[in-house]
Amino acid sequence: MTQPSRGGEYDVAVIGGGLVGSALAWGLARAGQKVAMLDEGDIAVRPSRGNFALVWVQGKGLGMPEYAGWTKKSSDDWSGFADLLREQTGLDVAYRRPGGFMPMLSEEDLQARANTMMRLHNQPDMIRYPYEVMDRETLRKELPFIGPDVVGGTYCPLDGHCNSLRLLRTLHKGIGLLGVDYRPNHRVERIEHRDGGFRMTTAGGEVRAGKIVLAAGHDSARLAPMVGLSAPVRPQRGHVIVTEKTAPFLHHPTVYVRQTDEGGVMIGDSFEEAGFDTTLQPGVSSAIAERAIRFFPLLGKLNVVRSWAALRVLTPDGFPIYEESKTAPGAFVATCHSGVTLAANHALTLAPLIAAGGLGDSFAPFSAGRFHVPQAA
């Protein structure tokens, strides 16, 4: 059922209402732009609902030190971002930065991880930040419930987590308060660059805007070539398990197990190439469960209340794409698979740059040109 498009041009149309799109829309509106956020309906792929809610720094950026710097910046800005959201909406996204762990189940794995971290930090132009490789005894002081199989792990004081579903809800409330026009059931079918702006044909009617930002998750791949951009993203499935609410016992997030502010324990994850199929695989869930119990044996008694399989939005190298179109200036693409960690950057750094007119040279490493994919005419 289509509704007539409300008249008038927008300064910016953000295509996609997930974590990336809504953080950008929020930042753009704060920068004074008149914004429309176009979204799909109630049943959609929605990778933003599938994340693990980590605001994570350690280990990122091997192969692209700029990404490590970008990540650390977002992590450093996250606390201020959470405060702004709380002041504006009254909602607390429960951001905590107690430091995070990646525990290991064999000496071999621990050594491999230590080597990776070393190589990461030895990269030229790599940003410096503290981290530790801990043996079992040191780890046990921080994580007393750790199981007998855990030999040690890596720790970084910059790592943290938040309530990511509340983040999405808070951003939606915030953009409403900022006067953003949120349009669900407006899947974009076609974009044309004309008359110095952009005309979008959507399921809910036509929308026109001076600038557009593609933040449509997997659908950015389809939309990008329409405006001279490239977003070669693919889905990658990951399973997550959540337990019943439990009294707080795990105060630090770990890569595979974290306890939410509401008490449930979230457990992940897996990496499967399965196209867009999100059918649950009991064997994968089982392997995830088994590993979690090796990390924290007392999790075994808890009841699993929900499990799901979600689809990451992955570029070929796993690093984000941020780019403005050369053939259709004013069209931007923003895609990443760490929409929670990078939310602060998207809202407080990227959005104002887009509002002011352009990304600048520092974003060159994030261009899709790095994949040598020819741009669409």
321 binds other proteins (CB under 8 A): no
Structure tokens at 196: 């110095």
Provide the minimum distance between the beta carbon of 175 and other proteins in the complex, in angstroms, as a whole number.
9
Structure tokens at 43: 């049943």
Can you spell out the DSSP letters for 85-104?
Answer: HHHHHS-----B-S-EEEEE
Instruction: Select the span of 125-133, 222-230, 292-300, 337-345 touching other proteins (CB under 8 A).
Output: 292-300
Do 305 and 243 form a contact (C-beta atoms < 8 A)? yes
Q: Which of 6, 194, 222, 245 binds other proteins (CB under 8 A)?
A: 245
202 binds other proteins (CB under 8 A): no
Q: Whose Cβ is closer to other proteins: residue 143's or residue 288's?
A: 288
C-alpha distance across the termini of the chain, in Å: 34
205 binds other proteins (CB under 8 A): no
Structure tokens at 225: 């070539």
Instruction: Select the span of 94-102, 189-197, 263-271, 323-331 touching other proteins (CB under 8 A).
Output: 263-271
Return the bridge partners of 133, or none.
Answer: 154
Q: Which of 176, 316, 357, 358 binds other proteins (CB under 8 A)?
A: 176
63 binds other proteins (CB under 8 A): no
Instruction: Select the span of 2-10, 190-198, 218-226, 237-245 touching other proteins (CB under 8 A).
Output: 237-245
Closest CA to 52 of 371, 289, 305, 310: 310
Distance separating alpha carbons of residues 5 and 292, to the nearest angstrom: 49
Q: What DSSP element (H or E) covers 130?
A: none
Do 290 and 147 form a contact (C-beta atoms < 8 A)? no
Provide the minimum distance between the beta carbon of 169 and other proteins in the complex, in angstroms, as a whole number.
4
Q: What DSSP element (H or E) covers 36?
A: strand 35-38
Q: Whose Cβ is closer to other proteins: residue 166's or residue 193's?
A: 166
Q: Whose Cβ is closer to other proteins: residue 236's or residue 325's?
A: 236
Write out the binding residues for other proteins, residues 31-60 only, by CB under 8 A.
Answer: 39, 41-43, 46, 49
Structure tokens at 330: 């004013």
Closest CA to 11 of 180, 212, 193, 210: 210
308-333 burial: b if 16+ Cβ within 10 Å, else e: ebbbbbbbeebbbbbbbbeebebbbb
Can you spell out the DSSP letters for 256-270?
Answer: SEEE-TTSPEEE---
Write out the binding residues for other proteins, residues 84-123 only, by CB under 8 A.
Answer: none
Encoded amino acid at 316, one letter: P
Q: Whose Cβ is closer to other proteins: residue 64's or residue 266's?
A: 266
4 binds other proteins (CB under 8 A): no
Q: Which of 138, 251, 276, 305 binds other proteins (CB under 8 A)?
A: 305
* Pattern 126-165, other proteins, x by CB under 8 A: -------------------x-------------------x
Distance separating alpha carbons of residues 297 and 312, to the nearest angstrom: 29
185 binds other proteins (CB under 8 A): yes
Contact residues toward other proteins (CB under 8 A) are 1, 17, 39, 41-43, 46, 49, 145, 165, 168-169, 172-173, 176, 182-185, 241, 243-247, 249, 262-263, 267, 269-272, 277, 279-293, 298-309
